[in-house]
């Protein structure tokens, strides 16, 4: 879905058709960089840990970086911000509705979902939580590209390294004693492999909004514009 979004941006910028772009992406070799990093760069990283180094370039010893670079070579527009990519498509000339993305990762320390989406993932202290126990990746990381969001949702065991979240964000759901380390992200399939759990939450939220007399007290916040739901469901405001 992230690739489809990126290809639509390319089509908007007159860089070829979106379907052809998606087809070409499917033929791209994304594994060579990943495997080379696994066999060589990771070994060097074990012998010479780079976590202490603040010099630009030290973070190269990461197969995650190599994999995301491979994604960007295959589709340059994957570097677009998750939120900004949708805004550009729906507000541009001839813009139409663009589906929202829900890219699930798993928060290792608790086993909960960590969702990357243009919709603000409602959390405590809301009493009517739309995505129970879910962590908002965008709030936590302060913005995220399509490539990173897609990678975080597909950090397969053994091949793709678990992602370390290093942030001073006060919203960090897991406190660590290791400096600014907040927690870790793993493949979204550990919690919600089919996407059914998140889909169920979305349908349940829509039912609350559409049912007469059952107004939601804690509504999702969309990123692109303010609007009012049907049957007086309430205001849905932009991500703050």
The single-letter DSSP state of residue 94 is: T
Do 233 and 135 belong to one domain? yes
In a domain, residue 90? The reply is: no
Out of 79, 113, 140, a domain closes at: 79
- Specify whether 108 is located in the same domain as 54: no
User: Has residue 124 got a pLDDT over 80?
Assistant: no
Tally of structural domains, the chain: 2
Question: Residues 188, 235: one domain?
Answer: yes
* 92 belongs to a structural domain: no
207: how many CB neighbours lie within 10 A of its CB? 11
Statement: residue 57 has pLDDT above 60: no
pLDDT class of 221 with cuts at 50, 70, 90:
very low
Could you tell me if residue 87 is inside a domain? no
Q: pTM for this one?
A: 0.75
Q: Where are the beta strands (DSSP E) in 64-221?
A: 102-107, 113-117, 135-136, 163-166, 181-187
Q: Could you report how far apart the first and last alpha carbons of the chain are, in Å?
A: 25
The answer to whether residues 141 and 68 belong to one domain is: no
Domain span including residue 158: 102-240
Q: Are residues 63 and 117 in the same domain?
A: no
Q: Do 229 and 146 lie in a common domain?
A: yes
Tokens of 100: 């929202």
Residues 112 and 184 in one domain: yes
Report in angstroms the alpha-carbon separations of 104 from 96, 131, 154.
25, 12, 9
Asked if the structure places residue 240 within a domain, the reply is yes
Look at residue 180 and tell me if it is in a domain: yes
Between 11 and 50, residue with greater pLDDT: 11
The whole-chain average pLDDT of the chain stands at: 75
Q: Answer whether residue 101 shows pLDDT above 70.
A: yes
Co-location of 139 and 213 in the same domain? yes
Whether 65 and 118 map to the same domain: the answer is no
Check whether residue 199 and residue 127 sit in a common domain: yes
- Give the end of a domain, one of 28, 48, 79: 79
- The answer on 168 and 72 residing in a single domain is no
Q: Decide if 153 is inside a domain.
A: yes
Per-residue pLDDT tens over the stretch 23-53: 888 888 888 887 777 777 666 666 766 666 6
Query: Does the pLDDT value for residue 204 go beyond 70?
Result: yes
Q: Tell me whether residue 8 is in a domain.
A: yes
> Is the confidence at residue 12, as pLDDT, over 60?
yes
Query: In sequence order, what are the residues at sequence separation of 6 or more whose Cβ sits closer than 8 angstroms to the Cβ of residue 151?
Result: 64, 67, 68, 71, 160, 163
Domain assignment of residue 156, yes or no: yes
Which secondary structure element, helix H or strand E, spans residue 227, and what is its range?
A: strand 227-228
* Same domain, yes or no: 140 and 240: yes
- Cβ neighbours around 142 below 10 Å, total: 9
């Amino acid at each position: 879905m992230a690739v489809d979004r990126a290809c639509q941006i390319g089509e908007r910028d007159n860089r070829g058709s979106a379907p052809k772009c998606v087809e070409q992406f499917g033929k791209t070799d994304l594994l060579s960089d990943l495997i080379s990093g696994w066999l060589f760069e990771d070994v060097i990283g074990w012998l010479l840990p780079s976590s202490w180094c603040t010099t630009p370039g030290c973070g190269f010893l990461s197969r995650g970086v190599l994999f995301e670079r491979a994604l960007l070579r295959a589709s340059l527009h994957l570097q677009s911000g998750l939120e900004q990519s949708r805004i550009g498509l729906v507000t541009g000339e001839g813009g139409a509705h663009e589906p929202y993305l829900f890219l699930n990762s798993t928060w290792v320390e608790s086993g909960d979902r960590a969702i990357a989406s243009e919709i603000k993932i409602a959390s405590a202290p809301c009493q009517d939580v739309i995505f129970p126990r879910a962590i908002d990746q965008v709030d936590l990381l302060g913005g995220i590209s399509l490539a990173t969001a897609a990678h975080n949702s597909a950090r397969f065991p053994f091949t793709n390294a678990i992602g370390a979240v290093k942030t001073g964000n006060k919203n960090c759901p897991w406190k660590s004693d290791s400096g600014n380390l907040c927690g870790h992200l793993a493949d979204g399939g550990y919690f919600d492999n089919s996407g059914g759990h998140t889909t169920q939450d979305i349908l349940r939220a829509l039912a609350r909004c559409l049912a007469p007399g059952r107004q939601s007290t804690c509504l999702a916040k969309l990123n692109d514009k303010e609007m009012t739901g049907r049957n007086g469901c309430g205001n849905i405001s932009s991500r703050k």
